[in-house]
Amino acid sequence: MENLNALLHAIGQRKSDLANKDFLLTWEQSRDELEQVLDIAAALKTLREKNIDTQLFNNGLGISLFRDNSTRTRFSYASALNLLGLTQQDLDEGKSQIAHGETVRETANMISFCADAIGIRDDMYLGAGNAYMREVGSALDDGFAQGVLPQRPALVNLQCDIDHPTQSMADLAWLKEHFGGLENLKGKKIAMTWAYSPSYGKPLSVPQGIIGLMTRFGMEVTLAHPEGYDLIPDVLEVARNNATVSGGKFRQVSSMEEAFLDADIVYPKSWAPWQVMQQRTDLLRSHDSVGLQVLEQRCLQQNAGHKNWHCTEELMKRTRGGNALYMHCLPADITGVSCEAGEVEASVFERYRIPTYKEASWKPWIIAAMIVARKFTDPAQALQHRLNVAQPRIKY
Amino acid sequence: MENLNALLHAIGQRKSDLANKDFLLTWEQSRDELEQVLDIAAALKTLREKNIDTQLFNNGLGISLFRDNSTRTRFSYASALNLLGLTQQDLDEGKSQIAHGETVRETANMISFCADAIGIRDDMYLGAGNAYMREVGSALDDGFAQGVLPQRPALVNLQCDIDHPTQSMADLAWLKEHFGGLENLKGKKIAMTWAYSPSYGKPLSVPQGIIGLMTRFGMEVTLAHPEGYDLIPDVLEVARNNATVSGGKFRQVSSMEEAFLDADIVYPKSWAPWQVMQQRTDLLRSHDSVGLQVLEQRCLQQNAGHKNWHCTEELMKRTRGGNALYMHCLPADITGVSCEAGEVEASVFERYRIPTYKEASWKPWIIAAMIVARKFTDPAQALQHRLNVAQPRIKY
Amino acid sequence: MENLNALLHAIGQRKSDLANKDFLLTWEQSRDELEQVLDIAAALKTLREKNIDTQLFNNGLGISLFRDNSTRTRFSYASALNLLGLTQQDLDEGKSQIAHGETVRETANMISFCADAIGIRDDMYLGAGNAYMREVGSALDDGFAQGVLPQRPALVNLQCDIDHPTQSMADLAWLKEHFGGLENLKGKKIAMTWAYSPSYGKPLSVPQGIIGLMTRFGMEVTLAHPEGYDLIPDVLEVARNNATVSGGKFRQVSSMEEAFLDADIVYPKSWAPWQVMQQRTDLLRSHDSVGLQVLEQRCLQQNAGHKNWHCTEELMKRTRGGNALYMHCLPADITGVSCEAGEVEASVFERYRIPTYKEASWKPWIIAAMIVARKFTDPAQALQHRLNVAQPRIKY
């Protein structure tokens, strides 16, 4: 359990502008801002471990808008809201429609009269998810400026077409915990590699989030995928620049074998090529269900040519000391368990099962921290107040 | 921000029987009772603006029963419950069934063991929505009298076949705010007029609610619609009587042009003729889906003959000073924005966009006020207690 | 209203291991443990009647997983969570799938980072519902032991293939209230009998729950059903043993007439034979929808041969003094009201309508009590603390 006073002190010292902007892409935040979110997450987690009520709000709504089914993200967001004292309310706009203009402006205001947070998951349409969030954000800014809204709700990016900041920040918090501090990540080798999956259309936001964030902390990030499974070029550029600035490295290789060599951390996970996601977006927009089926079949065939991208015990032996930390955003496609052939061999997954659960367990705290950083000008003071009052969460 | 002490004093002075009856039609409430609800809404809003926790309940459930999709009403109700400390629980009975007798009595009791409020939206069946609410109400009365229920939940009419009291009262609160007091509404001309929409079957409750309520406050209410778009005759009678009693006026004209002339306020909005709603109800009851399609086609054609019922800049010039207040319950059918041809010209809507948002922003407070008035014998005292304790909503 | 201090004293005196095990079948609990749950339920109910806030949690999630639609159980669970200060979050896994292995382990952990309770209703698959709950339970134990979960959520069996403990315990609480104490149940005759229903596939858990629980309290339990409507043999064995131990009786007869003779309590309710439920489970597993339809038709025909299993006024005259207490878990199939021919004559039901509502009203309190017993090592102390602090639920 981390030292709460040290955490609160650190939170107060950070140079952060998070109270004035939404956290939509990790690479738009300064290093201090990223660390502030990590520290707030750790402080909230520690308070709760001490049975201290973390409700910074007496009441208020947190709105969720999911364009895609998601048990894990849904529960993480619900948990984050609950521990802050907010109540979840779902906005069910229908999955397939992408709203624009007046509809977005109006809806954003209509749902926000009593809202302190809005979490959006919109990862299906390339070029649209993150843009939609920004459109909602500026509608909220306008509503607040015009006196319609008594408060400006925090927007939370629960996964978009470009980044998955709540996942990558939870992954970072887990790495910090596992390796005993951010400074220990400097020089660590992480292999973010494609892996075979029998399903199709998995979003790009996880690998993009990982290479966009881990390059900030001096890590040596290796991206590996079969030919034709490219990520969005702009994000590769972001990763390259980050590595230069942070003193880390970013390189691309063309096999899992090469990526795993001497790796401290491996993250084998399937995704669809961004060109495919682009075609899929066009087909979804034109409601071309036949075209979508054809694309799916083609992609599954393409995937099937790469079953050797499989995180096996044999491959794990190539990592540093043969025991790199295995990571996954879950659920993983486990060979012989959840599918016939998948991303990871059963014995590898089983050995790292509990660590992946712990990795996931950071998500509610990271989401809550993002809301706190956005809604409180002085989050350290607000958390200190919780500590001083020390209301027990479970009452005796 | 209104003076809280004056508001609380006014609330305490009203002669009100609202603690003993459900607020199902505005014209069943006395003028004092209507004003008490406005004042409680304003007091709650002011408390929250001062960051004072408005939770009059430590816990409890508020049940929602929507027979029709509704983002705006759903969020308003959820917001009202949340700010009072109640938690929403949806009763999903299926949209098309109208329950009767033992089913209603049993369900009403089964959901109410820990419930303080039940909000119902039931506007699809003419002759059934308001009647259903009353049947639920008397089941609750009986359950409470017999010792089954430890409390009698407040019923909230979130829109029925006859009235839409949470909308019309929110509209009234907005007019009061905009014109600086109810007394300033006396003699003001309001034009409640039909307008063209490319959709069909819009409920009658909004125009009926407006003419049934605004005639209570000495306003000069003009109702305008094409031939054959009649409202329920009984409600017209209510509006006529109200005007006589309050010293206002109620008249009907047959063009938007005439209605807009010298108007201080215009409310152009589409609805279906009550005779059509009656036929639709019969067809829905007999599950005649072919008949429903035929009726819809016929009505859309009938609508299409009245595209000139369009709130244009040209028409707005006819209003008092050319700048009457434009109102709408939202979402509006905006020409060239949300549809090809609709209720209102885009530039008119855009100029009044923020005012319509502010109009809508009163709804959560009005709903909360209705619950407070029903559940507390002395709402002024309960609100005073909140003010005295002054727990911050957002904690620092 | 029961004496709170006496209740709290009794709760503290019970020898109970409920803090260390899930309450999944009543017959796995000791008599002291059953009584402790009854007492906690009564204490919570009494606190609330005195307008004392019963929220033992400042916040936290209660998860619900319903594999079958259920308005009543859903609201009871939601009410229980709310009165304890927990917020409901639905896990919608899809109704038809039965998860196993890693999927269960992973899901159980992913939803539980901030969860204090998980309520599961899984009554469709014979041999699977209770087993699934145990699988979830051991995943939670493991997650807690491994440091993934900061707390071990309470599992609540909201109805399984074998037992319906929240129903049978609520029924017992009602009998205790009605007859003025558990000791007064000794020697009382209760007739748990099959009754005709025009629907099919009603679960076995209610009759099994009743014969498995009421035999614990020295009651004379008679089970009656037409030939071929057997309950699970193991549960009959449980009932027989219970009766021997408690000094009660358990017998089976083959007509409603015989069962009703001199009965103090009658519980006429339809169910499907366990052999049919077994076939149905096999057909559901093999997704054999034609087979399911054939089975349904065959069973409805079989049912139709037993319309004389009908709780009439005539039959009620055979009970003790002609006025045995009629019980039902609701909703009942009422002849001429909810169906043409059903379980009970309308006049009988109407006379006992309010008592059945009171019977049902115990359910939220029983569910809450089960959660409290599981989560607090010393529930008496926790409840005493609520009484000492005495925060009003409705604030003035």
**What is the predicted ipTM?**
0.95
Check C353 against B105: CB less than 8 A apart: yes
Are residues C132 and C120 in contact, defined by beta-carbon separation less than 8 angstroms?
yes
DSSP A54: -
How far apart are the C-alpha atoms of B96 and B128, rounded to whole Å? 12
Check C107 against A71: CB less than 8 A apart: yes
Are residues B183 and B148 in contact, defined by beta-carbon separation less than 8 angstroms?
no
Asked if the bond preceding B331 is cis, omega within 30° of 0, the reply is yes
Per cent of chain A over pLDDT 70 is 98
The partner residue sitting opposite B89, judged by closest CB among C75, C337, C361, is: C75
In chain C, the residue whose alpha carbon lies closest to the alpha carbon of B147 is C358
**Nearest C-alpha of chain A: how many angstroms from C103?**
8
Check C57 against A331: CB less than 8 A apart: no
Which of these, C71, C312, C275, lies nearest to C195 by C-alpha position?
C312
- Residue-level pLDDT at C96: 45
CA count, 13 A, side-chain hemisphere, A243: 23
Q: Tell me phi and psi for residue A328, to 5 degrees.
A: -160, 145
- Residue-level pLDDT at A96: 45
How far apart are the C-alpha atoms of B390 and B394, rounded to whole Å? 11
Task: Name A276's Cβ contacts closer than 8 Å, sequence gap at least 6.
Answer: A201, A295, A299
Are residues A89 and A119 in contact, defined by beta-carbon separation less than 8 angstroms?
no
Contacts of B56 in chain C (CB under 8 A): 394-395
Are residues C34 and C217 in contact, defined by beta-carbon separation less than 8 angstroms?
no
- Residue-level pLDDT at A98: 57
Is residue B293's pLDDT more than 90? yes
In chain A, the residue whose alpha carbon lies closest to the alpha carbon of C147 is A358
Q: Dump the DSSP string for C36-61.
A: HHHHHHHHHHHHHHTTB----BSS-E
Average pLDDT score over chain A: 95
| Same fold flag, B4-163+362-389 and B167-360 | yes
DSSP C391: -
pLDDT, tens digit, 9 for 90 and up, residues A297-313: 999 999 999 999 999 99
- Residue-level pLDDT at A2: 55
DSSP E strand stretches across chain A: 61-66, 87-90, 115-122, 154-160, 189-193, 220-224, 249-253, 265-268, 325-326
Residues of A201-239 as b/e, b for ≥16 C-beta within 10 angstroms? Answer: bbbbbbbbbbbbbbbbbbbbbbbbbbeebbbbeebbebb
Please enumerate residues of C whose Cβ is less than 8 A from a Cβ of B: 48-49, 53-55, 71-72, 75-76, 78-79, 82-83, 85, 87-88, 330-331, 334, 337-338, 349, 353-354, 357-358, 360-361, 363-364, 391-396
Q: For the beta carbon of residue C72, count every other beta carbon within 10 angstroms.
A: 17
Are residues C97 and A338 in contact, defined by beta-carbon separation less than 8 angstroms?
no
pLDDT tier, B96 (very low <50, low <70, confident <90, very high otherwise): very low
- Residue-level pLDDT at B207: 98
Q: Tell me phi and psi for residue C49, to 5 degrees.
A: -60, -30
Are residues B84 and A61 in contact, defined by beta-carbon separation less than 8 angstroms?
no
Are residues A359 and A170 in contact, defined by beta-carbon separation less than 8 angstroms?
yes
Q: In degrees to the nearest 10, what's the CA dihedral of B257, B260, B266, B272?
A: -30
- Residue-level pLDDT at C98: 57
Average pLDDT score over residue span B348-372? 98
Check B91 against C78: CB less than 8 A apart: no
3-state secondary structure of A349: helix
Q: Between helices C31-49 and C379-389, what is the axis angle to 10°?
A: 10
Is residue A294's pLDDT more than 60? yes
Q: For the beta carbon of residue C93, count every other beta carbon within 10 angstroms.
A: 15
- Residue-level pLDDT at B222: 98
Is residue B1's pLDDT more than 60? no
Select from 3.40.1440.60, 3.40.50.1370, 1.20.1250.20, 3.40.30.10 the CATH code of B167-360. 3.40.50.1370
Are residues A396 and C183 in contact, defined by beta-carbon separation less than 8 angstroms?
no
| The model's pTM | 0.97
The amino acid at C176: K
Average pLDDT score over chain B: 95
Tally A–B CB contacts below 8 A. Answer: 94
With tokens 């069996």, the residue in question is C157
The partner residue sitting opposite B393, judged by closest CB among A58, A89, A386, is: A58
Is residue C101's pLDDT more than 90? no
User: What is the largest distance, in Å, between two alpha-carbon atoms of chain C?
Assistant: 62
For chain C, give the number of residues: 396
Average pLDDT score over residue span C300-309? 95
CA count, 13 A, side-chain hemisphere, C245: 15
pLDDT tier, B311 (very low <50, low <70, confident <90, very high otherwise): very high
Interface test with A, best of C8, C56, C57, C58 (most A CBs within 10 A): C58
DSSP E strand stretches across C230-335: 249-253, 265-268, 325-326
- With contact defined as 3+ CB pairs under 8 Å, the chains touching C are A, B
Check C113 against A76: CB less than 8 A apart: yes
- Residue-level pLDDT at B94: 61
- Residue-level pLDDT at B97: 55
- Residue-level pLDDT at C166: 98
Per cent of chain C over pLDDT 70 is 98
pLDDT tier, B321 (very low <50, low <70, confident <90, very high otherwise): very high
The partner residue sitting opposite C111, judged by closest CB among A48, A54, A75, is: A75
Check C395 against B57: CB less than 8 A apart: yes
Average pLDDT score over residue span C273-290? 92
How far apart are the C-alpha atoms of A292 and A149, rounded to whole Å? 41
Average pLDDT score over residue span C227-250? 97
pLDDT tier, B98 (very low <50, low <70, confident <90, very high otherwise): low
Is residue A237's pLDDT more than 60? yes
Residue boundaries of the structural domains of chain B: 4-163+362-389, 167-360
Of all residues in chain C, what percent are helix, strand and coil, respectively (each to 5)? 50, 15, 35
pLDDT, tens digit, 9 for 90 and up, residues B158-194: 999 999 999 999 999 999 999 999 999 999 999 999 9
- Residue-level pLDDT at B47: 97
How far apart are the C-alpha atoms of B109 and C355, rounded to whole Å? 12
Are residues A357 and C148 in contact, defined by beta-carbon separation less than 8 angstroms?
yes
**Residue A285, CA distances (Å) to A126, A288, C276 in order:** 11, 8, 48
Residue C287 in tokens:
């997704």
Residue A24 in tokens:
């939509």
Residue B102 in tokens:
């033992």
Q: In terms of CATH architecture, what is B4-163+362-389?
A: 3-Layer(aba) Sandwich (3.40)
Contacts of B111 in chain C (CB under 8 A): 71, 75
Task: Name B186's Cβ contacts closer than 8 Å, sequence gap at least 6.
Answer: B217, B218, B219, B247, B248
Q: Work out the angle at residue A336's Cα, subtended by the Cα atoms of residues A334 and A337, and round it to the nearest 5 degrees.
A: 60
Q: Residue B11, Cα to own-chain centre: how many angstroms?
A: 21
Tally B–C CB contacts below 8 A. Answer: 94
Per cent of chain C over pLDDT 90 is 91
DSSP E strand stretches across C179-300: 189-193, 220-224, 249-253, 265-268
pLDDT, tens digit, 9 for 90 and up, residues C256-277: 999 999 999 999 999 999 999 9
Is residue C26's pLDDT more than 80? yes
The partner residue sitting opposite B107, judged by closest CB among C53, C71, C361, is: C71
- Residue-level pLDDT at B70: 82
Which of these, C209, C254, C210, C250, lies nearest to C229 by C-alpha position?
C254
Check B60 against C338: CB less than 8 A apart: no
Select from 3.30.70.60, 3.40.190.10, 3.40.50.1370, 3.30.420.40 the CATH code of A4-163+363-389. 3.40.50.1370
With tokens 């998951």, the residue in question is A121
pLDDT tier, A113 (very low <50, low <70, confident <90, very high otherwise): very high
Contacts of B358 in chain A (CB under 8 A): 147-148
Check A71 against C93: CB less than 8 A apart: yes
Average pLDDT score over chain C: 95
pLDDT, tens digit, 9 for 90 and up, residues A29-55: 999 999 999 999 999 999 999 999 999
3-state secondary structure of B117: strand
Is residue A27's pLDDT more than 70? yes
How far apart are the C-alpha atoms of B252 and A298, rounded to whole Å? 64
3-state secondary structure of A200: coil
Residue B69 in tokens:
């999709």
Contacts of B363 in chain A (CB under 8 A): 113
Are residues A99 and A127 in contact, defined by beta-carbon separation less than 8 angstroms?
no
Specify which residues A9 forms β-bridges with: none
Would you give the end-to-end CA distance of chain C in angstroms? 23
Contacts of A330 in chain C (CB under 8 A): 106, 110
Q: Dump the DSSP string for A123-190.
A: -SSTTTHHHHHHHHHHHHHHHHHTTS-SS-PEEEEEEESS--HHHHHHHHHHHHHHHTSGGGGTT-EE
Q: Dump the DSSP string for B328-395.
A: -SS---BBTTTBSS-SB-HHHHHHHHHHHHHHHHTHHHHHHHHHHHHH-S-HHHHHHHHHHH--BSB-
- Residue-level pLDDT at C288: 94
With tokens 């134990």, the residue in question is C141
Strand pairing category for B189-193 and B265-268: parallel
Contacts of A82 in chain C (CB under 8 A): 59-61, 87, 89, 114
How far apart are the C-alpha atoms of C9 and C13, rounded to whole Å? 6
Long-range pairs for A179-188: beta carbons < 8 A, 24 or more residues apart: A182/A35, A182/A38, A182/A217, A185/A214, A185/A217, A185/A218, A185/A219, A186/A217, A186/A218, A186/A219, A186/A247, A186/A248, A187/A218, A187/A219, A187/A220, A187/A248, A188/A219, A188/A220, A188/A264, A188/A265
